[in-house]
Chain A
Amino acid sequence: MATSVLRAEAIAKSYRRHVVLRDVTFAVPAGTLVGVVGENGAGKSTLLKILAGELAPSGGHVVRDGALGYCPQEVILNDALTVRQHLDYFRAAYQLHNLRRAEEVMALLRFERYADARVETLSGGTKQKLNLTLAVMHDPRVLLLDEPYQGFDWETYLRFWELADDLRARGCAVIVISHLFFDQKRFDQLYHLADGVVTATTAA
């Protein structure tokens, strides 16, 4: 199996006396699609924020190799800017020379026609598509997705999986977090998060 590009080592997180994560340990090799499932309040988003570097853990380490893409559960965009301006802003953030990959993803998710629309005028589903595009436009080596298809219609949901398969084929380690997976067979590895620890439930 390929070497791990993301390793969580004994991650713990507490808010005062409230323990959210106790001992989360797992590794994700390049070119794999991994799902983390858990009930509401199990600490899934907390775990993802720690993996992304948005939140500091109370204990443990995250070891990551290569560029990270992070798509938070909530759509985090700027209402005053257009879709194209968002891509330009993140192009500068990622130091990309062009937007070729972003345009490919937009075409796959079918929202190129909104390129010049201001975000405040977009539907929830289109905002979510942009939210996702911003996370993958730099061809990350590790991609963290928190409930990425919320608000997608069925067709877009299927296109999302096309994108996930494409990313995997490019050697990206894709970690999807959700409270519910309809298509468990799509994953190479599935983890269940409960009581602050993860357990492997399915192996490819």
Chain B
Amino acid sequence: MGSVTPAPAGASQTLATTSDPSRDRHESRLRTATRYALIELARNRMAFGLLVVFVPLWYGLLALLVTTAPVAFQLNATGAFLQVNGRDITVLTAGYNAITLIVGFLIYSATRRGSRFDRRLTLAGYPQLTLVCAKLIALVIASAAIALYADLVMLAFWRPESFVVVWLGFFFAALAYGTLGLFLGVLVTSELAGFFVIIMVSLMDTFLQNPVANPVANKPILRVFPSYGSMQIGVAGGFTSTVPGVATLIALAWVVGFALAGLSVFWWRTRPRGQLRG
């Protein structure tokens, strides 16, 4: 029983599969794919609407409704408990909550909508690796921009000790949920199921780490949650202006883990089936 199928379509498929000596050509294709990946993200009106309306509204509501009574938050870097203003840490968690939901949703919907188009591009000769890199670059840029926006809007409600370190925490949270969105986007078959998973994971993750919502927010189990590392960075930046090294590594590990899982499935799904004969 044979199994050989034709090569992917495209005028220069043979060239592309043997060797592409032109670095310029590779960079040009990467720029093209990144540009269109970014345009696609920027044209998601739902995500844009959520950013404009939901982010300030969510900060505002929590700032208004939550008590300023001090609560204890355990910082991983020192093991010590910080006594922090309950309202301030809730505003900070609101940022995480909004960012993780919006970036997760944004990347998830782009990945789902674009999956067949990406497959067509690879059949036409677009190198998979270039498309994968472009998606990652677009994800990093979108995460950085959304983290910056959420950090800026937060200033209207609370001024953290270090704007930059909080941004770093937001950035890692955005990256983790963006890569989770990518993973779910290529994995799940039901659109609703993916949204539901992102909402539930984000809700549990960010809610349980807020000591106002969860008085036992220092349990070791929380360390295995996706936004644990980035939340530690955010709290350190918000109240002490230090950058916790271990937390940064943990945050990075989640990003790398989700990205590898998602990109492996993407790679598998868009691969050409077989090789050219004749």
- A residues engaging B (CB < 8 A)? 7, 9-10, 12, 50-65, 67-70, 72, 74, 76-81, 85, 88-90, 92-96, 118, 134, 138-140
Contact = CB atoms under 8 A, between A and B. Distances in A.
B35 to A, nearest CB: 9
Contact of A61 (B2, B13, B40): B2
Contacts of A134: 120, 124
Interface string B92-103: 000000000000
B116 A76 contact: yes
Give the interface size bracket for B toward A.
35 or more
A139 B11 CA distance: 8
B4 interface: yes
A149 to B, nearest CB: 19
A65 B278 contact: yes
Nearest to A6: B6
B121 A90 contact: yes
B214 interface: no
Given A53-B272, A81-B36, A92 B2 contact: no
Interface of B: 1-13, 15-16, 25, 28-29, 32-33, 36, 39-40, 43-44, 113-114, 116-117, 119-121, 123-126, 272-274, 276-278
A55 B2 contact: no
A59 B133 CA distance: 34
A63 B114 CA distance: 30
A88 B40 CA distance: 15
A57 B124 contact: no
Contact of A93 (B43, B116, B121): B121
B117 to A, nearest CB: 5
B273 A62 contact: no
A92 B122 CA distance: 11
Given A59-B1, A85-B39, A88-B32, 15 more contacts: A10-B2, A52-B6, A56-B3, A58-B1, A61-B5, A63-B278, A68-B6, A68-B13, A69-B9, A76-B120, A80-B39, A89-B33, A92-B126, A93-B126, A95-B11
